[in-house]
Amino acid sequence: MYIIVGLGNPEEKYFKTFHNLGYNAVGDVAAKLGVKFKKRECSSYTAEANVSGEKVILARPLTYMNNSGEAVKQLLAKYKADPSQLTVIYDDYDIPKGKLRIRPEGSGGTHNGMRSVIAEINTEKFTRIRIGIRDSEVNIPIINYVLSEVKKDDYSLFVSACERAADAAISLAKGTPAELVMTEFNG
């Protein structure tokens, strides 16, 4: 059993924003595994796949970013999964745009969605795939930036970053140790 959650906001108006890169990346996971988000459960849209003989649940929370932990807690409870069987994919303002950072544990940093997840499941010990969004040329408040649309000039960079994040998540679901996935995908 493995659970992969992509953080974001459920309304269409957020689809092309930086804050929805987690949603986009978990959508790429679904596409690569040949499944679709058909079910609504645990305050999320979910899809189910099989990876190397293991059930993998893909989820896009419907709770909005700042309450993402509610959905993650429900998913872990329903599927009787341990946080060690969880990967969360999300945007991170503290990392340069287009870069990936994979970590087997850590704080939520400045990200309210991750803070919510950690608070709800009472642990920092789960894998996270962070997609960097910081643009040194942009000087607006973080909240305005994360809810703004990805610039056309950067679109292909973020499509590539989401695809790499999806590949990393699938590798983790196959049982590849986080250290090896970090070596391959970080940077």
Q: Does the annotation count 111 as an active-site position?
A: no
Are the C-beta atoms of residues 139 and 91 closer than 8 Å to each other?
Answer: no
Q: Residue 164 in 3-state DSSP?
A: helix
Strand stretches in the chain, DSSP E:
2-6, 39-41, 44-51, 54-61, 86-96, 100-103, 127-134
In the chain the first and final C-alpha atoms are separated, in Å, by 28
SS3 category, 169: helix
The span from the CA of 139 to the CA of 68, in Å, is 27
Neighbouring C-beta atoms of residue 175, cutoff 10 Å: 11
Token readout for 79 is 């599927």
Type of residue numbered 135: D
Check 5, 14, 18, 19 and give the catalytic one: 19
Catalytic residues: 19
